[in-house]
Structure 1
């Protein structure tokens, strides 16, 4: 009986280590920016290997927003300072429209100018509300102390 318990414990420990290693790999792999599509003060950024957690996504934006501005010219605020930047999972790449629910880019010629709508992070800024972050799990703001706080209504 003790031998079986030891084997189960070893297998369980091994499974936990493999899952932990996979999670660490997911969190540490570099984000790949595949393309940027810009229209007025609205930017779509197609990415691969985006951080898996809400906090990781927001921190990635905060750490890389200056690089995005220098390298890609985004965000591109309107005269009143408002902008929207949406990060989309590039997934299987560009594809033809399905005529229904794909995200298609006007700055590319069809037919291969669309991608699936799988948003990972939306960064919005306006004069009235300041900057906030929209994710599937809710909306986050940065408070005066620099802490990222989830909106209570979400």
Structure 2
């Protein structure tokens, strides 16, 4: 093996190590729940460092749903048992409404009460469908009666 090939191999190896380290750092950061806003049976959870993978998001919900209920009193099912919890990336924080298509929260009495619409995950429950998981920019899943996660075929 020539010196040039060894240098290329070392560079590729080091680049791979850096990328792997960065991915691990991203996936191991703790999720930060910044705020929770309510709108009847819909709850909006503003988060930072949400898991990157579909499986990571679902597992985070399953592990933390009781904590969310205790600490934030969510989800709040309707009389029929239906609820929706949507997780939004908090990004750069609250902003004024100004820009088109921001999500604003009426429960905040300030002009700086909106976020960019960057949903990352949602959980819905209804009598007909049971618990459904939607991963934005990903797939949809259902929690079956045995506790297994089933990928829902897309149309």
**TM over 0.5, yes or no?**
yes
Length-normalised TM-score, structure 1:
0.95
SS in structure 1 at match of 2:3: helix
Q: Which moved more, 1:103-112 or 1:44-53?
A: 103-112
Work out the CA distance in 2 between the residues paired with 1:152 and 1:26.
29
Query: What's the CA shift for 1:99?
Result: 5.0
Work out the CA distance in 2 between the residues paired with 1:99 and 1:48.
22
Work out the CA distance in 1 between the residues paired with 2:8 and 2:149.
41
Query: What's the CA shift for 1:147?
Result: 2.8
Work out the CA distance in 1 between the residues paired with 2:62 and 2:31.
14
Work out the CA distance in 2 between the residues paired with 1:124 and 1:81.
10
Deviations 1:33-81 (A, max 9, x none): 0000012111000000000111101110000000000011011111111
Runs of 5+ unmatched residues, structure 1: none
Length-normalised TM-score, structure 2:
0.94
SS in structure 1 at match of 2:112: coil
SS in structure 2 at match of 1:80: coil
Matched with 1:150 is 151
Q: How does 1:90-105 map to 2 (within 5 A)?
A: 90-98=90-98, 100-105=100-105
Query: What's the CA shift for 1:126?
Result: 0.6
Matched with 1:84 is 84
Work out the CA distance in 1 between the residues paired with 2:106 and 2:64.
26
Q: How does 1:12-31 map to 2 (within 5 A)?
A: 12-31=12-31
Q: Considering only aligned residues, what root-mean-square deviation do their CA atoms show, in Å?
A: 1.3
Work out the CA distance in 1 between the residues paired with 2:94 and 2:144.
38
Aligned residue pair count: 154
Work out the CA distance in 2 between the residues paired with 1:21 and 1:103.
34
